[in-house]
Amino acid sequence: MDAISTKGLTRDYGGGKGIFDLTFSVGEGETFGFLGPNGAGKTTTIRHLMGFLRPRAGSCAIGGRDCWRERENIQRDLGYIPGEISFFNDMTGAEFLRFLAGYRGQKPVRQKELLDRFELDPRGGIKKMSKGMKQKLGIVAAFQHDPAVLILDEPTSGLDPLMQNRFVELLREETARGKTILLSSHMFEEVERTCQRVGIIRAGRLAAVDSVEALRKRHLRSYTVTLDTPERAESFARDFGGQQDGCRVTVTARQSLEEIFLHYYGGGEHD
């Protein structure tokens, strides 16, 4: 059974904005990258998955449950990092985490470990926290009850490279522990390093869904060059990692996801 699935999910905001006929699924234990530029519809899709918005057409489900009708049952085993973090500004980080545990009625079994991992001291007031600190608090809040499904909306925004690495490590560990993860991002590296499959969304429509590996392969380019002598061909093959066949050497160049991305978006058009 698919852990997360959408079928013909549509929400038209008018003026070409919104999401249109979105169909994709994430298998149980899979880490799925949801790639797209700002305004492509990633957050709108996630709001439907979270049960914040009622689908106008189509449907979406998590663990076989309808995301709108059974939202509170789905939430029991779900962790969520919002794209725009906004917590209760009148609380300290520690108070907020305690509030969440009490409010959800779930033990924050991983809280201490996560606070240590991200070197977050939660005793300060949320109002005075930097963007990065709030993001860390959001990570702890999403993972502290050890949910089976994680929906993460641009979770590394505001984190420095060191903390981004720690977050990627955390995701890999969670994947190894069999968690299902939907990671929305506009950063390829993050997705490339953590996800097995990627869905690319553009202007509210799914442009491609494929494994990270297949996406790379599809955009593999080969060149065959002919050299004067087999000796020269041999050294050329050695230097450029090509396949030698007499005087001919075949070299391949992989496009980075960045370039693949540009391919789907038609040259950096960000809307």
Partner 1 sequence: MINTTLYLRGMKGSLRLLAVLGAVITMYVTIIISMYDPELMATLDGFVELMPELMAAVGMDAGANNLLEFMISYLYGFILLIFPMLFAILRGNGLVAKSAEDGSMASLVAAPVRRTTIALTQAAVLVSGTVILLVYATAVELVSIAVMFPGEVAPGDLLQVNGALFCLQFFIGGICLLASCVFSDTRYSLGFGAGLPVLAYVLNMLANVGGDAEKAKYFTFFTLFDPSGIAAGETAARAGAGILLGAGILLYALAVAVFDRKDLFI
**Does the footprint of partner 1 cover residue 53 (CB under 8 A)?**
yes
Q: Does 84 bind partner 1 (CB under 8 A)?
A: yes
CA atoms of 266 and 204, how far apart (whole Å): 15
Distance CA 203, CA 205 (A): 6
Interface with partner 1 includes 86 (CB under 8 A)?
Answer: yes
Our finding on whether 54 is near partner 1 (CB under 8 A) is: yes
The β-bridge partners of 198 are 33, 210
Comparing CB distances to partner 1, the nearer of 78 and 212 is 78
Q: Is 137 in the site for partner 1 (CB under 8 A)?
A: no
Rg value, the chain, Cα: 22
The residue (of 141 and 233) whose beta carbon lies closer to partner 1 is: 141
Question: Least distance in Å: CB of 80 to partner 1?
Answer: 5
Question: In which residue are the tokens 């370039």 written?
Answer: 259
Residue from 7, 17, 47, 248 that binds partner 1 (CB under 8 A)? 47
Stretch that binds partner 1, among 104-112, 203-211, 222-230, 247-255 (CB under 8 A): 104-112
Q: Does 52 bind partner 1 (CB under 8 A)?
A: yes
Beta carbons of 1 and 151 less than 8 angstroms apart:
no
CB of 264 to partner 1, least distance (A): 27
The one-character DSSP state at 233 is: H
Name which of 75 and 255 has its Cβ closer to partner 1. Answer: 75
Q: Is 142 helix (H, G, I), strand (E, B) or coil?
A: helix
| 10 contacts partner 1 (rule: CB under 8 A) | no
Per CB under 8 A, 75 contacts partner 1: yes
Q: How far is the CB of 10 from partner 1 (least distance, A)?
A: 14
Question: What is the rounded CA–CA span in Å between residue 260 and residue 257?
Answer: 5
The two tokens of residue 209 are 């869904």
* Nearest residue to 148 via CA among 249, 77, 71, 42: 77
**73: Cα separation from own chain's centroid:** 23
The verdict on 104 binding partner 1 (CB under 8 A) reads: yes
Query: Residue 57 in contact with residue 8, Cβ under 8 Å?
Result: yes
| The residue count for the chain | 271
Q: How far apart are CA 256 and CA 193, in angstroms?
A: 12
Residue 88 near partner 1 by CB under 8 A: yes
Q: For partner 1, how many residues bind (rule: CB under 8 A)? A: 30
Q: Does 80 bind partner 1 (CB under 8 A)?
A: yes
Residue type, 170: L
Q: 61 or 260, CB closer to partner 1? A: 61
Residues lying near partner 1 in the complex (CB under 8 A): 47, 50-54, 71-73, 75-76, 78, 80, 82, 84-90, 96, 99-100, 102-106, 141
